Amino acid sequence: MSSSAGSSCTPVPSHKQRRRSRRSTGCWDSLDKDSQALSALGRFQTLPLEIFHMVLKYLSGLLFKRCTLLLPTRDRLKYVHKVLSEILTAGWDELECHRVFNFLWELSNLARKVQTVVSSRAGSARKLELRIRLYCRRVLLNHWIHRSDSAFWLTRILKPWPIVNQARLLYIIFGPVSSLDGHVVWQKMIEGPTDETSLKGLAEAIKLLYGTEAREWTADDVISLVDELSVVPQEWLMENNARLLLLSGNNICFTFMASKAVNGRAVELARLMVFMTLVCEKDLYCMDWVVRMMQKVCRVFSTPWERNNFLQCLENAFAHMLMDMLQAVLAGGHDEEDNSFLNLFHLVNAQANFHKEILYLAMRSSPSTT
């Protein structure tokens, strides 16, 4: 599925150098885990799938069990499930895959379980929410290699439901969970600013549905889903909305903001743009990305008056947010839990860096003087 943003969209915001150095250890951790699994399986893990299938024909169940003896039970089950699922559905047409999904859907009684959680108050059926999350991820979604397969199965899970329930279900499957018991944390987006880790799963799912692999989803479908997601279970903080859009990619971000411009929601769009600058400042993204995104959004407005009105709303939003945060600082107790001064600090820097990039852009585009 293609979008109007296309290849003309501004490049993905790049992290500053200190951000890359700060997170460089993560890749080594994953590399160590991969090397451990590889050493346990020997070189059989790196065989092409076709050759492995040939070998598998000559392995009894007992021999396969012995070949994977050194792996933890969880990894052995995951590996067997992955191989079997690829063997059983490889080369199947879409109709056959539909039948497999319908069979699994009925066998697990998933429709009734999903209906229960999406109709109940968020968090009132925590154990059932967790079961649905684990079943959807471990049985239906996680083991696919190709994005088209992942998109197909995620579509089968979401499409039978109305948009409100789709958003609830998407949050259950991909939203943040507690590090203590694994249950879905519903208040994460409401109580305060969250981090990238809590939003990454949702962002990846949204990108998957927006991509060309998800043929049954239009751009409007995905934008409506993102809009609905931002009020699950209640209205999110605008900063968390902005962070989710930024993580979801340029095309989704632009299409979402352009839809607000087209529908005359200039004030809401201006506030979202200000929070975009705040997220870029906090998460150490380059501020010129926001400026280029603003330029693209400005081209959506059909008249100069609409564009100028949006720019005025943008500056008003900066001023109002600064005053609100200043009042919070003056009213706060300045204890260790009070982040109001830090938020004000980030917003002032965000505004300065945003306008600095605009000045750079203006100077580059103006004719040189002697």
- Scan for tokens 């049954």, then name that residue: 216
Instruction: Judge whether 284 and 15 are in contact, CB under 8 Å.
Output: yes
**Is residue 319 over pLDDT 70?**
yes
| Pairwise CA distance, residues 177 & 184, whole Å | 4
Instruction: Judge whether 210 and 219 are in contact, CB under 8 Å.
Output: yes
18-22, 97-101, 236-240, 317-321: the lowest-pLDDT one: 18-22
Rama region for 249: left / alpha / beta (φ>0; ψ in -120 to 50; rest): left
- Scan for tokens 């885990």, then name that residue: 33
**Is residue 81 over pLDDT 90?**
no
Q: Return the pLDDT at 333.
A: 62
322-337 tens-digit pLDDT: 999 999 888 876 555 6
Greatest C-alpha distance within the chain: 84
DSSP 8-class letter at 43: G
Who has greater pLDDT, 79 or 364?
A: 364
Who has greater pLDDT, 207 or 329?
A: 207
- The sign of the CA dihedral 325, 238, 137, 109 is positive
Reduced DSSP (H G I as helix, E B as strand, rest coil) percent helix, strand, coil of the chain, to 5? 70, 0, 30
**Is residue 288 over pLDDT 70?**
yes
Contacts of 236 (CB under 8 A, 6+ apart): 189, 190, 230
Q: Is 285 helix (H, G, I), strand (E, B) or coil?
A: strand
Q: Which of 179, 189, 186, 205 has the alpha carbon at shortest distance from 120? A: 186
Mean pLDDT of the chain: 81
Q: Which of 219, 199, 324, 310 has the alpha carbon at shortest distance from 264? A: 310
Residue 7: pLDDT band with limits 50, 70, 90: very low
| Pairwise CA distance, residues 61 & 26, whole Å | 37
Q: Which of 98, 10, 83 has the alpha carbon at shortest distance from 50? A: 83
Who has greater pLDDT, 35 or 140?
A: 140
Q: Which of 120, 128, 154 has the alpha carbon at shortest distance from 139? A: 154
Q: Return the pLDDT at 6.
A: 43
| Pairwise CA distance, residues 53 & 63, whole Å | 15
**Is residue 370 over pLDDT 80?**
no
162-188 tens-digit pLDDT: 999 999 999 999 999 999 999 999 999
- Scan for tokens 């580059």, then name that residue: 364
**Is residue 339 over pLDDT 50?**
yes
Q: What is the mean pLDDT of residues 7-31?
A: 44
Q: Phi, psi at residue 177, to the nearest 5°?
A: -130, 160
Instruction: Judge whether 16 and 46 are in contact, CB under 8 Å.
Output: no
**Is residue 258 over pLDDT 60?**
yes
Q: Return the pLDDT at 27.
A: 35
Residue 9: pLDDT band with limits 50, 70, 90: very low
Percent of the chain whose pLDDT exceeds 70: 72
Q: Is 177 helix (H, G, I), strand (E, B) or coil?
A: strand
Partner residues linked to 177 by β-bridges: 184
Residue 102: pLDDT band with limits 50, 70, 90: confident
| Pairwise CA distance, residues 268 & 285, whole Å | 23
Contacts of 245 (CB under 8 A, 6+ apart): 226, 252, 253, 256, 257, 272, 276
**DSSP code string of 316-362:** HHHHHHHHHHHHHHHHS---TT--HHHHHHHHHHHHHHHHHHHHHHH
Q: What is the mean pLDDT of residues 74-79?
A: 58
